[in-house]
Amino acid sequence: MYGNKIRALRLFRGFSQEYMCQKLEIDTSKYSRIETNSQKPTVDLLEKISKVLGVSTADIISNEPIIIQTNSSTNGTGGIGRIENFYSEQKELIDTLLKSKNDENERLVKQNETLAKQNEMLLKQNEQLMKLLEKKK
C-alpha cells in the first residue's frame, strides 16, 4: 500500500504524526495504522493527506519514487539532510524497483538471444529452400 511513501513524505516535510492528525482531523492510532499499512486510507483521506504533504494523490499511489524539488534555505544547504533522509526511507522501495527492472532486463536479454537463434535458424532454412527452388528450375 502507500504507508511507507506517506511516512517518508511526512518525514521529508519535517511533520510529526501529531501534526498530520491535527491537519487531517483523525486520531493518532488511525494515522499510525495508515503509515504501517495496517489500514488503507479512504479516497477522501488520501486526497487530504496528499494536500497536507504537498504532492498529488497520484504521486502517493504510484509505484514510482517521488522526486521532490526544494528551494535553497537561507544557510545554503537546500534541505540536503532532509533529502538524504527521504531517500534513505525510500531505499527499500527503490531497491525493489531496481531489482524488478534488472530482472526484466535479464528476461529481455534471454528473449533476445532466443529470437536471434530462431532468426539464424530461419535464415538457414530459407537458404536451403532457395537452393531447392534453384535446382528445380
Q: Compute the distance between CA of residue 134 and CA of residue 102 in angstroms, rounded to an integer.
A: 48
Which has the higher per-residue pLDDT, 69 or 125? 125
> What's this model's pTM, rounded to 2 decimal places?
0.51
Number of domains in the chain: 2
Q: Residue 87 above 60 pLDDT?
A: no
Contacts of 93 (CB under 8 A, 6+ apart): 4, 5, 65
We report the CATH number of the domain holding residue 35 as 1.10.260.40
Q: What is the pLDDT of residues 101-115, one digit of tens each?
A: 888 999 999 999 999
Together in a domain, 85 and 131: no
Together in a domain, 38 and 67: yes
Q: Is 96 a member of any domain? A: no
Which has the higher per-residue pLDDT, 104 or 88? 104
Q: Compute the distance between CA of residue 13 and CA of residue 17 in angstroms, rounded to an integer.
A: 11
Contact at 8 Å (CB) between 68 and 86?
yes
Residues of the domain holding 60: 3-89
Together in a domain, 54 and 118: no
Q: What is the pLDDT of residues 52-86, one digit of tens each?
A: 998 889 888 887 766 665 554 444 444 444 545 55
Report the alpha-carbon angle 74-79-84, nearest 5. Answer: 160
Q: What is the pLDDT of residue 70?
A: 55
Q: Residue 46 above 80 pLDDT?
A: yes
Q: What is the pLDDT of residue 119?
A: 96
Give CB contacts under 8 A, 24+ apart, made by 108-112: none
